[in-house]
Structure 1
Amino acid sequence: MRVVRDLEWQGPVPAGEGEYGEFFAAAAEGRLLIQQCPQCGNRQHYPRALCTACAAVPEWMEAAGTGTVYTYTIVRQYGVPAFAELPYVLAMVDLPEGVRMFGGITGIDPEAVEVGMPVTAYARTYDDTHAMVFWEPSQ
Structure 2
Amino acid sequence: MSSEAPGACQVPDPDEVTAPWWDATRRRVLLVQRCAACGHAQHPPRALCTACGSPRDLGWSEATGDGVVDACTVVERAMPGFRPPYVVARVRLPEGVLLLSNVVTERPYDVGVGDALRLDWRPLPDGRALPVFVPSER
TM-score range, shorter chain: 0.7 to 0.9
Aligned to 1:63: 63
Which residue of structure 2 aligns with residue 119 of structure 1?
117
**Contact preservation (8 Å) 1:108, 1:137:** no
Identify the residue that residue 10 of structure 2 maps to in structure 1: 12
State the distance in 1 between where 2:12 and 2:105 align. 22
Structure with the larger helix share:
1
The count of corresponding residues between Structure 1 and Structure 2 is 131
The answer on whether the counterparts of 2:8 and 2:81 sit within 8 Å (CA) in structure 1 is no
Give the equivalent residue in structure 2 for 1:25. 23
Distance 2:82 2:63 in 1: 31
Residue aligning to 2:49: 51
> Is the contact between residue 28 and residue 129 of structure 2 (CA under 8 Å) also seen in structure 1?
no
Q: For residues 51 and 45 of structure 1, what CA distance do their matches in structure 2 show?
A: 10
Q: Check if 1:98 corresponds to 2:71.
A: no
Paired with 1:25 and 1:64, the residues of 2 have a C-alpha distance of: 17
More contact order relative to length (CA 8 Å, sep ≥ 6) = 1
Q: Match of 2:86?
A: 88
User: What do you get for the CA RMSD once the two structures are aligned?
Assistant: 1.9
In structure 2, how many angstroms separate the alpha carbons of the residues matched to 1:74 and 1:26? 29
Gaps of 5+ in 2: none
Match for residue 135 of structure 2 among 112, 134, 137:
137
- Determine which of 24, 38, 44 is the counterpart of 1:40: 38
Q: CA deviation at 1:33?
A: 0.4
Structure 1, unaligned runs of 5 or more: 1-5
- Equivalent residues of 1:125, 1:131 under 8 A apart: yes
Q: Which amino acid aligns with 2:115?
A: M
1:55-84 Cα deviation digits (max 9, x unpaired): 113111111011100000111123x4x145
- AA paired with 1:73? T
With structure 2 as the length reference, what TM-score do the two structures score?
0.85
Percent identity reads 35
